[in-house]
Amino acid sequence: MDSIGIIQIFLLIITITVVAGFASVVYFLGEIYRALTRPEPEASPGVTNDHGAPDLAGSAPLPKGIDPRNAGSLEECLGTITEKYNLASFTLATADGLLIGSTKRGAEDEAARYSYLYTQGTLQDETGAELLGIPHHGETVIGIARPSEPLSPELASALEQDTRDVLQHWV
């Protein structure tokens, strides 16, 4: 191979590298644009406005109910609930600690621990997890919600109702 062939191969490698670099820059700029143009989530009741004062205009309307028939699985419904109520995770367990479903991987230990705490009368722990007792077919299903901020009584009631609807359809 002569020197011209080596130079051509070298130029080809440089061209491919530049094109790949340009494509990745365009891709990441598109991701940044999508992140910047995404609509802001609606504020929760009691959230402060831009000036730091509490929002006294009244409480926001409760989110609409979830139709479990629109989801392909129990986990999809739990994911919808998690988004709707701005939860970090949501887990359902039986009263004796067996996992029913969760948006969190490896939630078996969490189901067992929090089911036990619920049977001992604990409704919230030091980490901020809120425990809900949801009657279903004569048993109590334990809902383990990890909200970003404490749930108001209205939101907790709406969360319980949505969970009842999901359980009625899937369990």
pLDDT at 49: 42
Among left, alpha and beta (phi > 0; psi -120 to 50; other), residue 70 is alpha
Parse the chain into domains and list their residue ranges. Answer: 68-170
CATH superfamily membership of 68-170: Dynein light chain 2a, cytoplasmic (3.30.450.30)
Which residues are within 8 A (CB) of 166 and not within 5 positions of it... i.e. 6 or more apart? Answer: 66, 68, 74, 77, 78, 81
Which residues are within 8 A (CB) of 79 and not within 5 positions of it... i.e. 6 or more apart? Answer: 103
Taking only the tens of pLDDT, the chain with its 171 residues reads 788 999 999 999 999 999 999 999 998 888 887 777 766 554 444 444 444 444 444 444 455 556 555 667 888 888 888 888 888 889 999 988 889 889 888 888 888 998 899 888 888 878 888 898 888 888 889 999 988 888 888 888 888 888 888 888 877
| Strand partners for 142 | 93, 133
Report residue 125 CA to chain centroid gap.
20
Residue 59's alpha-carbon distances to 65, 158, 159, 169, in angstroms, are 18, 14, 16, 30
